[in-house]
Amino acid sequence: MADPMRIRAQVAGDKATVRVLMAHEMESGQRKDAAGKLVPAWHIAEVTATHNGKPVLTAEWGPAVSKNPFLQFVVKGAKAGDKIAVTWKDNKGDTRTDEATAS
Protein backbone atom coordinates (compact mmCIF):
# COMPACT_ATOMS: atom_id res chain seq x y z
CA MET A 1 0.00 0.00 0.00
CA ALA A 2 1.34 3.36 -1.01
CA ASP A 3 2.23 5.99 1.56
CA PRO A 4 -0.02 9.04 1.90
CA MET A 5 0.41 12.31 -0.03
CA ARG A 6 0.66 15.71 1.58
CA ILE A 7 -1.69 18.24 0.03
CA ARG A 8 -1.96 21.91 0.94
CA ALA A 9 -4.43 24.25 -0.74
CA GLN A 10 -4.10 27.92 0.08
CA VAL A 11 -6.72 30.43 -1.06
CA ALA A 12 -5.66 33.92 -2.17
CA GLY A 13 -8.31 36.04 -3.87
CA ASP A 14 -10.32 33.93 -6.31
CA LYS A 15 -7.56 31.34 -6.73
CA ALA A 16 -6.15 28.54 -4.64
CA THR A 17 -2.54 27.44 -4.84
CA VAL A 18 -2.31 23.69 -4.38
CA ARG A 19 0.95 22.06 -3.34
CA VAL A 20 1.21 18.29 -3.47
CA LEU A 21 3.97 15.97 -2.28
CA MET A 22 3.68 12.36 -3.42
CA ALA A 23 5.57 9.43 -1.94
CA HIS A 24 6.78 7.30 -4.82
CA GLU A 25 9.99 5.56 -5.85
CA MET A 26 9.76 6.81 -9.47
CA GLU A 27 12.16 4.19 -10.78
CA SER A 28 13.15 5.24 -14.31
CA GLY A 29 13.83 1.79 -15.74
CA GLN A 30 17.33 2.92 -16.81
CA ARG A 31 19.24 1.89 -13.69
CA LYS A 32 20.96 -1.40 -13.04
CA ASP A 33 21.09 -3.15 -9.69
CA ALA A 34 24.18 -4.61 -7.99
CA ALA A 35 23.88 -7.77 -10.10
CA GLY A 36 23.86 -5.77 -13.36
CA LYS A 37 20.19 -6.43 -14.05
CA LEU A 38 17.95 -3.62 -15.19
CA VAL A 39 15.68 -2.29 -12.44
CA PRO A 40 12.21 -2.31 -14.00
CA ALA A 41 10.50 1.03 -14.52
CA TRP A 42 8.05 1.90 -11.77
CA HIS A 43 6.69 5.41 -11.89
CA ILE A 44 3.52 7.43 -11.69
CA ALA A 45 1.87 7.42 -15.11
CA GLU A 46 -1.21 9.52 -14.54
CA VAL A 47 -2.14 12.32 -12.16
CA THR A 48 -5.59 13.80 -11.83
CA ALA A 49 -6.87 16.56 -9.57
CA THR A 50 -10.46 17.44 -8.80
CA HIS A 51 -12.06 20.52 -7.29
CA ASN A 52 -15.26 19.55 -5.43
CA GLY A 53 -15.40 16.42 -7.57
CA LYS A 54 -14.94 18.25 -10.88
CA PRO A 55 -11.72 17.41 -12.76
CA VAL A 56 -9.38 20.40 -13.04
CA LEU A 57 -6.11 18.78 -14.02
CA THR A 58 -4.96 15.61 -15.73
CA ALA A 59 -1.34 14.87 -16.48
CA GLU A 60 0.64 12.03 -17.99
CA TRP A 61 3.91 11.48 -16.22
CA GLY A 62 6.94 9.54 -17.30
CA PRO A 63 10.22 8.24 -15.89
CA ALA A 64 11.88 11.68 -15.95
CA VAL A 65 9.93 12.90 -12.92
CA SER A 66 11.91 12.78 -9.68
CA LYS A 67 11.48 10.49 -6.71
CA ASN A 68 8.93 11.75 -4.14
CA PRO A 69 7.66 14.34 -6.63
CA PHE A 70 6.33 17.79 -5.79
CA LEU A 71 3.50 19.30 -7.84
CA GLN A 72 2.11 22.82 -7.62
CA PHE A 73 -0.84 24.26 -9.52
CA VAL A 74 -3.43 26.99 -9.24
CA VAL A 75 -7.17 26.37 -9.21
CA LYS A 76 -9.30 29.30 -10.35
CA GLY A 77 -12.50 29.99 -8.47
CA ALA A 78 -11.66 27.84 -5.44
CA LYS A 79 -12.89 29.11 -2.07
CA ALA A 80 -11.99 28.23 1.51
CA GLY A 81 -13.66 24.97 2.50
CA ASP A 82 -13.57 23.52 -1.02
CA LYS A 83 -12.31 19.99 -1.44
CA ILE A 84 -9.25 19.38 -3.56
CA ALA A 85 -8.51 15.72 -4.29
CA VAL A 86 -5.47 14.35 -6.07
CA THR A 87 -5.11 10.85 -7.51
CA TRP A 88 -2.08 9.18 -8.99
CA LYS A 89 -1.88 5.91 -10.82
CA ASP A 90 1.44 4.20 -11.50
CA ASN A 91 2.51 1.90 -14.32
CA LYS A 92 2.05 -1.15 -12.08
CA GLY A 93 -1.60 -0.26 -11.57
CA ASP A 94 -1.19 0.91 -7.98
CA THR A 95 -3.18 4.02 -7.15
CA ARG A 96 -3.71 6.44 -4.32
CA THR A 97 -6.14 9.31 -3.69
CA ASP A 98 -5.85 11.95 -1.00
CA GLU A 99 -8.03 14.93 -0.28
CA ALA A 100 -7.46 18.31 1.32
CA THR A 101 -9.69 21.21 2.28
CA ALA A 102 -8.72 24.61 0.91
CA SER A 103 -8.06 27.26 3.53
Q: Which residues bind another protein (CB under 8 A)?
A: 3-6, 19, 21-23, 66-68, 70, 72
Which amino acid, 99? Answer: E
CA distance 82 to 67: 29
Nearer to another protein, 6 or 79 (CB): 6
Whose CA is closest to 5, among 19, 23, 18?
23
Nearer to another protein, 2 or 45 (CB): 2
**DSSP 8-state code for residue 100:** E
Are 70 and 93 a contacting pair, CB within 8 Å? no
Q: How far is the CB of 85 from another protein (least distance, A)?
A: 17
Nearer to another protein, 42 or 52 (CB): 42
Q: How far is the CB of 6 from another protein (least distance, A)?
A: 5
Are 90 and 43 a contacting pair, CB within 8 Å? yes
Q: How far is the CB of 71 from another protein (least distance, A)?
A: 8
Q: How far is the CB of 74 from another protein (least distance, A)?
A: 14
